[in-house]
Amino acid sequence: MRILITGAGGQLAYDLQRVLEGHGGHSGRDDSGGSHETIPLVRADLDVCDSAAVWRALETHRPDVVINTAAFLRVDDCECQPEAAFRVNALAVRALAAACRHVDAALVHVSTDYVFGGQPEREPLGESATPAPTCVYGVSKLAGEHLIRCTWSKHYIVRPCGLYGIAGSSGKGGNFVQTMVRKARAGEPIAVVDDQTCTPTYTLDLAQKIAWLITTGACYGLYHITNAGWCTWYEFARTIFALAGIRARLTPTTSTAFNAPARRPAYSVLRPDALRALGADDLRPWPDALRAYLVETAVIPE
């Protein structure tokens, strides 16, 4: 199978490549579906906002599947650059879906838990839950989802949450775990919000489940894919330090005190109803995934 990956400089794209090519680390499962040919394209290779270039790339490579990991990820910047956010996260996604339709390639689009956050419920949210984004980033990603649905039927829309991976995050200058370990080792005081609940998710585990989706003929549609369980970001940080054996100057804070330009979801725990219906809701608990990540990045011994 020929699989083209956009935004190939990011942490999820890195793990998708190693999983799909058959050398994908250890997540406790074998969901890779075998070895496939991947075509990783970083922004310098393909700007997804250039629709003509997108069409040329797909006509040239003729992939069976396109996995779109390209996005405007800097949540706070989206608040002051809404046009750019919608150009990358919505309009470019529609053009990509149209190009996939043209070459009859299935499209896997990576969305976000940020399509939620404004709802009053504080219980895990299934795919049928009504979105309620609280920031420009979340609205732009939700718009991208809608544009895919009305453009091309052969799609998988994947909503993850709290991603971290060994390649870091090129769009954010490092992932949360890396940042916490670096700050703690430097002896810096660390304040982390304790009123935002999510599910930290290891990109290797997400990559393996995406690989399973596209190689086993699962039904097209919307999928929530995260590690199991949930915590606040403060609890996540505390667990990082406990597992790593690092003494940190960690204190909890509130979203109000943190005063970020973009309003983050207060609660965005995703329930994987679609995977459960397929008997594939088997991602490991987030603390186990975190430990595996810390081993793989040599923060702790195996």
Q: How far is CA 129 from the centre of its chain?
A: 19
Q: How far is CA 297 from the centre of its chain?
A: 19
Please tell me the pTM assigned to this model. 0.94
Residue 43 structure tokens: 């922004």
Per-residue pLDDT of the chain (302 residues; tens, 9 = 90+): 999 999 999 999 999 999 999 876 554 444 555 689 999 999 999 999 999 999 999 999 999 999 999 999 999 999 999 999 999 999 999 999 999 999 999 999 999 999 999 998 899 999 999 999 999 999 999 999 999 999 999 999 999 999 999 987 655 667 999 999 999 999 999 999 999 999 999 999 999 999 999 988 789 999 999 999 999 999 999 999 999 999 999 999 999 999 999 999 999 999 999 999 999 999 999 999 999 999 999 899 98
Query: What domains, with CATH codes, occur in the chain?
Result: 2-296 (3.40.50.720)
The set of catalytic residues is 137
* CB distance 20 to 108 below 8 Å: no
**How many Cα atoms occupy the beta-carbon half-sphere of 27 within 13 Å?**
28
- pLDDT the model gives residue 30: 47
